[in-house]
Amino acid sequence: MKNLIPGRARRLIALAAVLLLAACSAGGGTRGEVARFDFGPLPAAAPAAKLARPLLVMDVAVPAALDSADLRYRLAYQDGARPMAYANTRWAMPVSQLVTQRLRERLAAAGTIVSPSDGVRAPYSLRVELEEFAQVFDAPERSRAVLRARVTLVGNRTLVVQRTFALERAAASPDADGGVRALSSLTDEWIGQLLEWTRSEEHTSELQSRE
């Protein structure tokens, strides 16, 4: 039997399915219930890289659009410039706080860190500006997590180095649950790369200061 559903109708049905997933979200079985997620337990393996000197870790800065607990997504195949948020799935706290907490936890396992509230100085300070943190749908049935952050390492009130990290990870499922899991894993992957980079730049800066 021939397929009686035209191509355009099939695309509209697929789009409706994605929007329904966004409205229902992962775990939001009952209308009005909101499922809240964090990044889960810390990775079991200890970080391979170790911080050589104490590090002041500033709060992660985010643009106004990211300054909430929304789980954001984009439909790149339709209108990628329009960020949207799942109705019944949210992070356990605003994204800036959630990423700051994870960053400090992971870095603390690699050496001595301090926060601005501690009121003490450190040889180096780390500043992170989170530019993108969302689930991007390239098709109704295919999505990926996207993280982009500009990181600045400062020593003795002088810029040491700056780098923009841009990472992606495919989501296991095209829904809120897939987005949460992919963004959580991607955050840990990024922090691992950031730690290696910070340790290397600290070492380079120390060698240059001795010349």
**What per-residue confidence (pLDDT) applies to 208?**
63
Of 179, 91, 177, nearest to 136 (Cα)?
A: 179
**What per-residue confidence (pLDDT) applies to 27?**
39
Do 153 and 198 form a contact (C-beta atoms < 8 A)? yes
**What per-residue confidence (pLDDT) applies to 31?**
57
Q: Where are the alpha helices (DSSP H) in the chain?
A: 7-24, 76-79, 95-108, 176-210
**What per-residue confidence (pLDDT) applies to 32?**
72
How many CA atoms lie less than 13 Å away from 84 in the CB half-sphere? Answer: 21
**What per-residue confidence (pLDDT) applies to 49?**
79
Rounded to whole angstroms, the Cα distance separating 199 from 54 reads 11
**What per-residue confidence (pLDDT) applies to 22?**
47
134 token code pair: 């969302």
Ranges of residues in the chain with a pLDDT under 50 are 1-5, 9-10, 12-30
Rounded to whole angstroms, the Cα distance separating 165 from 189 reads 11
Pairing status of strand 80-91 against strand 55-57: unpaired
